[in-house]
Amino acid sequence: MNILLTGGCGFIGSAVIRFLIRATGHHIINVDKMTYAASEEALESAGGDARHTLVRADIADHAAMRAVFATHQPDVVMHLAAETHVDRSIDGPGPFIQSNVVGTYTLLDVARDYWQALPAARKAAFRFHHISTDEVFGALQPGDAPFTETTPYDPRSPYSASKAASDQLVRAWHHTYGLPAIVSNTVNNYGPWQFPEKLIPLVTLNALEGRPLPVYGDGSNMRDWLFVDDHAEALVKVIEQGQPGATYAIGGRQPRTNLEVVHAICDAIDARRPDPAGSRRRLITFVTDRPGHDFRYEIDPSHAEAALNWRAPNDFTAGLGKTIDWYLANEAWWRPIREARYAGQRLGQTKSAA
């Protein structure tokens, strides 16, 4: 099977490609614009495998996407390419609309024409899998039931609004044109190769370097967490077993407050690299909350677990340990990114917090 996967040099996309090369016989056409968070290194040995082809292109470019479809003849589209950082979307929403909304529309438009021209058997087997976020559902309060596949949409940030729009475009193309499309929504992912502006790598690396660990508000905001390799496995099950028109809410059953996550990181690093000055928890610094900060996200993955015969293998402690060990062993990758980040901050660029 030929899989056209967008954003394959990103955090989740690269994990999916590594899983596909390791565990399946599928061929992957990896379409990536190679923006700031993309890394060919994240593909590891899969990048040089004969079953992987990297195409540097913008998913919002109609001509480029038509050429990719015509040349590589995909059987499945796995659409992961997206701008994802909430703080960046607040500071500058334009790229999020362009990539997440216009880019998704472009892929759908090209995929529909391509799919309609396929021979009957290939047309029946074709799938368009759009990977999204739980943030489209809005925010939960204490005591609210977790999100499910039927939770109404209520996005609160430019990022989540752009993803909500793209989700609804995918569903519209299924209902209007019959395109065999599937949507999956997931929780916060973490693991190796995540760009250092995100919560877990940011706190991990700040703690290693003795820098302040900025936490928004009082740290009580809660997120559900999923180890990225577990998510990759679930996404492959979606393209192999998922039903057109369906939605799958994929979660790890691992909710934590931001402060609990930061404490767990500090304790795990202290156990691996003790600091003579004391526990890294001393570095925690509470900062002014960001605008529109959603209180809680959590998914009930029961339907997806049953439909896909899948459940996240790694609990948060195991996944976090693997993640921290990876960052400890891969300073050569993250160090230049960190140096560029702090050089930029000295020029007035935005900081991130937990």
Q: What is the pLDDT of residues 251-302, one digit of tens each?
A: 999 999 999 999 999 999 999 999 999 999 999 999 998 887 889 999 999 9
Q: Is residue 349 part of a domain?
A: no
Q: Is residue 351 part of a domain?
A: no
- Is 105 among the residues known to form the active site? no
- Is 149 among the residues known to form the active site? no
CATH for 75: 3.40.50.720
Domain range holding 47?
2-190+228-254+296-315
Catalytic residue among 134, 167, 233, 294: 134
Q: Is residue 334 part of a domain?
A: no
- Quick one: what percent of the chain has pLDDT higher than 70? 97
pLDDT score for 86: 85
Question: What is the pLDDT of the chain when averaged over all its residues?
Answer: 95
Least confident of 89-98, 120-129, 264-273, 340-349: 340-349
Contacts of 75 (CB under 8 A, 6+ apart): 1, 2, 3, 122, 125, 126, 127
Q: Is residue 119 part of a domain?
A: yes
Count the domains in the chain: 1
Closest to 263 measured CA to CA, from 215, 224, 227? 215
How far are the Cα atoms of 27, 104, 212, 274, 294 from residue 75, in angstroms, in the given order? 10, 18, 48, 50, 38
- Is 134 among the residues known to form the active site? yes
Q: Is residue 343 part of a domain?
A: no
Average pLDDT value for residue range 184-204: 96
Catalytic residue among 159, 190, 248, 297: 159
Catalytic residue among 32, 135, 149, 294: 135
Average pLDDT value for residue range 95-116: 97
